[in-house]
Amino acid sequence: MNNDYEAKIRLRISAHEAHYAGNLVDGARMLGLFGDLATELLIQLDGDEGLFRAYSSVEFLAPVYAGDFIEAVGKITKVGNTSRNMEFEARKVIIPKPDAGETAAELLKDPIIVCKAVGTCVTPLESQRY
């Protein structure tokens, strides 16, 4: 399998995305990022957005809070006629430090893995352009 098919997103989680007490963000937000990565990966491989079929595993490993910067990465691990297996990982790379000042933040030396997943996407043969 050619390892050229990788995608990355880095973004800040905004305050309006906090869903629970203590500015905690819903874990489904990470799955939304993984869906965006899957779309980009399918476009790279097939020239089409394809469809997300299923997750075979999802692990929520650490909480995500408003103000955290998340870097999510995805890669294609196996290509079938229409199916594409993918692996995803989301890491917390910057965290707010309100105890050091209202606008203080810290770049983490060791990013914290917050979510991992494995999934399968499908691009119908008639939609594959490459």
Domain map of the chain by residue range? Answer: 6-127
Name the region of 101 (left: φ>0; alpha: ψ -120 to 50; beta: rest): left
Q: Which amino acid is at 95?
A: I
Q: Residue 4's pLDDT is what?
A: 83
CA distances from 129 to 8, 40, 45, 91, 107 (A): 23, 14, 9, 32, 41
Per-residue pLDDT of the chain (130 residues; tens, 9 = 90+): 455 899 999 999 999 999 899 999 999 999 999 999 999 999 999 999 999 999 999 999 999 999 999 999 999 999 999 999 999 999 999 999 999 999 999 999 999 999 999 999 999 999 999 9
Q: Residue 90's pLDDT is what?
A: 98
Long-range contacts, stretch 101-108, CB < 8 angstroms, 24+ apart: 105/67
Under CATH, domain 6-127 is a member of which superfamily?
Hotdog Thioesterase (3.10.129.10)
Considering the entire predicted model, what is its pTM?
Answer: 0.93
Q: Residue 1's pLDDT is what?
A: 47
CA nearest neighbour of 86 among 45, 48, 124: 45
Q: Residue 3's pLDDT is what?
A: 57
What does the alpha-carbon distance between residue 119 and residue 53 come to, in Å, rounded to a whole number?
Answer: 8
